[in-house]
Amino acid sequence: MSKQIGYVIGIVLTLILGGILQYFICCKHSDTTRESKNDTSFRNLGVFSLKGEDLDYRSIGNFSFLREDYDYLPISYDSINIGIELLKRHLETHPDKNLSITGFAFSSEENKSVFPNLGFARANSTKNYFISRGIAKERIYLEGKISDDLLDQQDTLVNGVSFLLFQLEEGIESTDYEQVKREINEDPIHLYFDVGQSSIFIGESDRVKMSKIMDYLDHVVDSELILTGHTDNTGDRADNFILGEARADFLKSYLIRNGVQESKINTSSKGPDEPIADNSTEEGRSQNRRVTVKIN
C-alpha cells in the first residue's frame, strides 16, 4: 500500500514538474516571440512618440515621407490623432510647455525646399498638420537634422520626424523677434528671374533666412511676409508692373507649396521703379529682375 502511495506521489510530482518546464520552455518562448514581433512592428511602421515631464504617449505609426519629398504621406493611423488630442489638452493645462518638432533627412537626399535642409522642411510640413488639429503655432518650434541612421523602406522614410515637450527656458533661448525683423529687412532676400522665365534659384544663405522668417511668422502676432516683384526698364512700363506682380505671385504659390500659410503672404509690384543695379548693362538688368522678400 505504501509503495502504491509512493508511485502516485511520484507521478503527481512528475506531472507538476513537466507542466512547469513546459511553461518556461514553450510559453516564455511564445511571449518572447510576441515581444520580438511587436518590436519589429514598431521598427517597420515607425513610432509616434510624444514625451515630456507629464505626458508620455507612444504608438505604432509615425509621419512618413517619400525620398526627397517634404510632404508627409497620408496618415493611416488613428493613434496619431489620438496622441495629438492628448497633446492639445496637455498644452491647455500646461501654458509653460511647448512642442519641438525635429525633421530628419538622409545626406543623400536633394533638398528641393526653400529651407536649409529637407529635415526642416519635413518638420514644417508636420507642424501644419498639428495646427490643423488645433495646436497653436506659437507653441511649436522646428529643427532639421541630417542623418544616415534612419529607417528607409522602399524609398520611404518611416520615422521622418520626432517630438519633444519642453519648457522654453530649458530648451530654446528666447528669440528677439524685433532683431530678426531688422536683420531680414536690412538685408532682404532677393530671388532672381531670367528673361521670360519664372524659375527660381535659392542660395544656401537665403534658405537660412527663410527658416528665420518661418519662425517669425509662427510666433509674432499679425506678422506677414511681403513679396515685391521688380523688373528691369526694358519694354512697356505698364507691362513691367504686371510682370513684377506675376513674379511675386509665382513666388507666393511656391512658398505655399513649401508650407507657408497663404494668409500670411502679401504681394505687390514696383515694376522698374526701384532698381538695385545699372539697367544699361545686361548684368545690371538681370539683378533688377527679382522678387524681394521682407517681413512685417
Instruction: Let me know whether 195 and 289 are in one domain.
Output: yes
Element containing residue 60 per DSSP (H, E):
strand 56-60
| Domain end among 124, 152, 171 | 171
152 DSSP 8-state letter: B
Model pTM score: 0.79
- Quote the CA–CA distance of 136 and 98 in Å, as a whole number: 10
Instruction: Let me know whether 98 and 124 are in one domain.
Output: yes
Q: What percent of the chain has pLDDT over 70?
A: 81
Instruction: Let me know whether 34 and 95 are in one domain.
Output: no
Instruction: Let me know whether 72 and 20 are in one domain.
Output: no
3-state DSSP call for residue 74?
coil
The C-alpha cell at 171 is 530648451
The C-alpha cell at 8 is 502516485
pLDDT at residue 199, as a whole number: 58
- At residue 82's C-alpha, the angle toward residues 80 and 88, to 5°, is 105
pLDDT at residue 13, as a whole number: 47
Flag the least confident range among 25-34, 38-47, 58-67, 286-295: 25-34
pLDDT at residue 195, as a whole number: 60
* Whether the predicted pLDDT of 126 surpasses 60: yes
**Average pLDDT of span 150-169:** 88
Closest listed residue to residue 225, CA positions, set 163, 295, 175, 281: 295
* Whether the predicted pLDDT of 22 surpasses 60: no
* Whether the predicted pLDDT of 21 surpasses 60: no
* Whether the predicted pLDDT of 38 surpasses 50: no
Phi, psi of 102 (to 5 degrees): -110, 125
pLDDT at residue 1, as a whole number: 52
Place of cell 509662427: 218
Domain region containing 15: 1-45
Instruction: Let me know whether 50 and 37 are in one domain.
Output: no
Residues β-bridged to residue 226: 266, 294
The C-alpha cell at 9 is 506521489
Of the segments 14-23, 41-50, 232-241, which one has the largest average pLDDT value? 232-241
Helices in 46-176 by DSSP H: which ranges?
A: 78-93, 118-132, 168-171
Question: CA 277: distance to chain centroid?
Answer: 37
- Quote the CA–CA distance of 72 and 129 in Å, as a whole number: 9
Instruction: Let me know whether 192 and 120 are in one domain.
Output: no
Query: In CATH, what number is assigned to the domain containing residue 219?
Result: 3.30.1330.60
Instruction: Let me know whether 251 and 205 are in one domain.
Output: yes
Instruction: Let me know whether 76 and 19 are in one domain.
Output: no
* Whether the predicted pLDDT of 232 surpasses 70: yes
Strands across the sheet with 189-192, in order?
Answer: 189-192, 290-295, 225-230, 265-271
- Quote the CA–CA distance of 116 and 121 in Å, as a whole number: 8
Q: How many domains does the chain have?
A: 3
Please, which pLDDT band fits residue 177 given cuts at 50, 70 and 90?
very high
pLDDT at residue 122, as a whole number: 98
Q: Are strands 290-295 and 140-146 parallel, antiparallel or unpaired?
A: unpaired
Please, which pLDDT band fits residue 201 given cuts at 50, 70 and 90?
confident
Instruction: Let me know whether 106 and 125 are in one domain.
Output: yes
| Domain end among 171, 188, 215 | 171
- Quote the CA–CA distance of 126 and 84 in Å, as a whole number: 12
Instruction: Let me know whether 6 and 66 are in one domain.
Output: no
**Average pLDDT of span 221-229:** 97
Residues β-bridged to residue 60: 47
End-to-end CA gap in the chain: 102
Instruction: Let me know whether 39 and 53 are in one domain.
Output: no
Instruction: Let me know whether 71 and 149 are in one domain.
Output: yes
- Quote the CA–CA distance of 266 and 95 in Å, as a whole number: 31
pLDDT top residue among 145 and 154 = 145
Q: Taking the CB of residue 285, how many other CB atoms lie within 10 A of it?
A: 19
